[in-house]
């Protein structure tokens, strides 16, 4: 007696080559559209990222205003990349609108998305740490 599984093709057939190619193309386009994460901020502007994160997290409009002044000046000096300017303005706009949670989220994402520069890596490689103190070590005479 033949069962339906004997006479019908399996529903678990492999996708065709054309379908695989389309799926691969969609995957590549998706990765390209997403980019490589957060904008990378040059080393000389990393302090601005930290000030924006601090201002947003503490809801300190004065810090945000000073950062905004610095961003405007850096733009006038053509010292920012388009990606840096866009990232900074997104944070400033959210804070100016009173959306502190969004401003903090954007600032933290920008801060946390930074990749170490060659200078950062060199500084870490060359740093010296103090000797480790032994916990509970007895001092002579005590």
Query: Is 69 within a domain?
Result: yes
Domain assignment present for residue 3? The answer is no
pLDDT of residue 118: 87
Q: What is the pLDDT of residue 141?
A: 64
Domain contains 101: yes
* pLDDT in the model for residue 27: 44
**Mutual orientation of helices 82-96 and 100-112 as an angle, nearest 10°?**
150
Closest CA relative to residue 48, chosen from 62, 61, 66: 66
What is the chain's pLDDT, residue by residue, as a tens digit (142 residues)?
A: 555 555 555 555 555 565 555 555 444 433 333 445 889 999 999 999 999 999 999 999 999 999 999 999 999 999 999 999 999 999 999 999 999 999 999 999 999 999 998 888 898 899 888 888 888 766 666 6
Q: Could you list the residue range(s) of the whole structural domain that residue 48 is in?
A: 43-126
What does the pLDDT read at residue 127?
87
Structural domains of the chain, count: 1
- Residue 20 in any domain: the answer is no
- Neighbouring residues of 43: CB distance < 8 A, sequence distance ≥ 6: 117, 119, 120
Domain contains 96? yes
Tell me if 81 is assigned to some domain. Answer: yes
The pTM (predicted TM-score) of the whole model is 0.63
Distance in angstroms (rounded) separating the CA atoms of residues 21 and 106? 36
Contact 111, 50 (CB under 8 A): yes
Q: Please check whether residue 59 lies inside any domain of the structure.
A: yes
């Amino acid at each position: 007696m033949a069962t339906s599984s004997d006479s019908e093709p399996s529903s678990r057939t492999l996708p065709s080559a054309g379908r695989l190619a389309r799926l691969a193309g969609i995957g590549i386009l998706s990765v390209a559209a997403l980019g490589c994460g957060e904008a990378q901020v040059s080393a000389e502007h990393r302090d601005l990222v930290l000030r924006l994160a601090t201002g947003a997290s503490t809801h300190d409009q004065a810090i945000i205003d000073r950062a905004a002044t610095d961003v405007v000046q850096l733009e006038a000096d053509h010292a920012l990349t388009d990606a840096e300017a866009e990232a900074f303005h997104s944070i400033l706009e959210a804070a100016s609108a009173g959306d502190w949670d969004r401003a903090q989220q954007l600032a933290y994402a920008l801060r946390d998305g930074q990749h170490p520069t060659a200078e950062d890596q060199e500084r870490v490689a060359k740093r010296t740490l103090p000797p480790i103190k032994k916990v509970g070590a007895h001092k002579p005479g005590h």
